[in-house]
């Protein structure tokens, strides 16, 4: 009977050891999973931050380019406006004189009819 008790004691000890090993393995796998999830979250956060910075840089470059283009368009329109004003000043007096002369001739010709 003592051998039976010894076998039973060894079996109970083996069962306890197996439960401890399973419990340790479960804790280790949970820790590994948590660590992998944390690393994934950190990596995802870093990727999002990098994407935001890249988008910010693109947006700033686009805004700068648009500002430069707007300034160029404004300067070109000022130059064109100056050219139009100059042409008007150069050509307005002869045109006004022609129109005044033409109207005077018509008025005179109507008066003599």
pLDDT, one tens digit per residue, over 35-93 is 999 999 999 999 999 999 999 999 999 999 999 999 999 999 999 999 999 999 888 88
Residue 1's pLDDT band (cuts 50, 70, 90): low
3-state secondary structure 5-51: HHHHHHHHHHHHHHHHHHHHHHHHHHHHHHHHHHHHHHHHHHHHHHH
Q: Where are the domains of the chain?
A: 1-113
Burial 53-86 (b: 16+ CB within 10 A, else e): eeeeeeeeeeeeeeeeeeeeeeeeeeeeeeeeee
Question: What is residue 112's predicted lDDT score, i.e. its pLDDT?
Answer: 55
Gyration radius of the chain's alpha carbons: 47
Residue 16's pLDDT band (cuts 50, 70, 90): confident
């Amino acid at each position: 009977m003592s051998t039976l008790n010894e076998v039973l004691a060894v079996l109970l000890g083996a069962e306890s050891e197996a439960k401890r090993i399973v419990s340790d393995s479960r804790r280790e796998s949970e820790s590994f999973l948590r660590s992998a999830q944390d690393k994934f979250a950190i990596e995802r956060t870093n990727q999002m931050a990098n994407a935001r910075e890249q988008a910010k840089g693109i947006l700033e470059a686009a805004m700068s380019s648009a500002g430069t283009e707007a300034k160029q368009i404004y300067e070109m329109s000022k130059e064109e406006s100056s050219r139009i004003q100059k042409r008007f000043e150069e050509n307005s007096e002869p045109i006004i004189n022609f129109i005044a002369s033409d109207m005077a001739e018509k008025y005179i010709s109507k008066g003599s009819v």
